[in-house]
Amino acid sequence: MKIGIPRTLTYYAYYPLWESFFKELGCDIVVSDKTSKVILDDGVQYAVNDACIPIKLFHGHVHNLKNKADYIFVPRLMNYTEEKTVTYCPKFLGLADMIRASMDALPPLLDIKIDMREKRKYRREEFERVAALLKTSPRKAMLAFQKARLHLSRYNTMLSGKLSPDEALKLLLDIHDLPAASSDPLSLAVVGYPYLLYDEFISAGLIKKLLDMGVRVLTPEMVPPRELNKAAKALPKDLFWTFSNQVVRSSIYYLQSGSLDGIIHVTAFGCGPDSMVDKLIELEAKQRAVPFICVSLDEHTGEAGVLTRLEAFVDMLEFRRDRK
């Protein structure tokens, strides 16, 4: 059986989990192609016009898998942290339903609900449903999921302080391997959701461009979970969304570290949670007098535009540091 996994959204944070789970059950995996103009255009065509770019891209990636798989994996990711009160953006929660309503003639969707807060009984029911679809036993499915969780956590520990999955991984490897151009590079926190930062097409190669400028890039994934939990205390109330919490907390962590030259928030046009996140980071940065810009990405974002803004920001930071 072939499972198609869209190369976007949860892919960049949870791919090891999905991969290990399906392989353990003897399924083949096909990942959609890297984001391209065609995938973006397909996404724009199928998704509801008010959706944000990441959701449109998801539609595009699903379309890309149309004739390649027996099932398309669209996880209904509810909660996958130690924290009980957080979930994901509402658009993640209703993703499978959105896809079903707006795209025809797809292979069946495999919408596994993942909610670590739920009682065992409900989780077992979910595994029974999934096992029937995958023609395996619920016990096997549950064991495979346990194994996959271990796999992901090992993976995360191994990479903590350093990296993230796949080409993100490769990209981040570059961050560490690249000899800094100057002996004392600027330290820039580049914060944003993994599906924006590490998707080279949609982010217009933002991280690479910064690296080429000889800047030291710090991303949310590099902050150890313990430090993130500490940073959470700076806010009176947690945000409701796992990825947003990671972004805000890592920003606070980097700001508190005191050695930061600037902070770049990468966001998607029309992202609901980010309207909150962006202002929070802006205010935190303002308090500590750290320069801040927001780079908003959409279907019209061009490489040149992004590059110009980054260059201007970095120039400004260098000027500021020289003056000090």
Q: Which residues bind another protein (CB under 8 A)?
A: 47-48, 50-52, 55, 76, 85-91, 93-94, 97-98, 100-102, 235-237, 239-241, 269-276, 278-280, 283, 286
Q: Is 277 helix (H, G, I), strand (E, B) or coil?
A: helix
CB count within 10 Å of CB 180 equals 12
Q: What tokens does 122 get?
A: 């409900």
CA distances from 64 to 7, 130, 199 (A): 10, 23, 16
CB nearer to another protein: give 51 or 223. 51
90/241 Cα distance (integer angstroms): 9
Minimum distance between the CB of residue 310 and another protein, rounded to whole angstroms?
A: 20
Minimum distance between the CB of residue 271 and another protein, rounded to whole angstroms?
A: 7
Minimum distance between the CB of residue 88 and another protein, rounded to whole angstroms?
A: 7
CB nearer to another protein: give 54 or 165. 54
- How long a stretch of residues is the chain? 324
CB nearer to another protein: give 101 or 173. 101
Taking only Cα atoms into account, the Rg of the chain, rounded to an integer number of angstroms, comes to: 20
CB nearer to another protein: give 139 or 286. 286
Minimum distance between the CB of residue 143 and another protein, rounded to whole angstroms?
A: 26
Minimum distance between the CB of residue 286 and another protein, rounded to whole angstroms?
A: 7
Residue 301 CA to chain centroid, in angstroms?
19
CB nearer to another protein: give 89 or 152. 89
Q: What tokens does 51 get?
A: 């959706």
Residue 221 CA to chain centroid, in angstroms?
10
Q: Can you tell me which residue has the tokens 């025809």?
A: 104
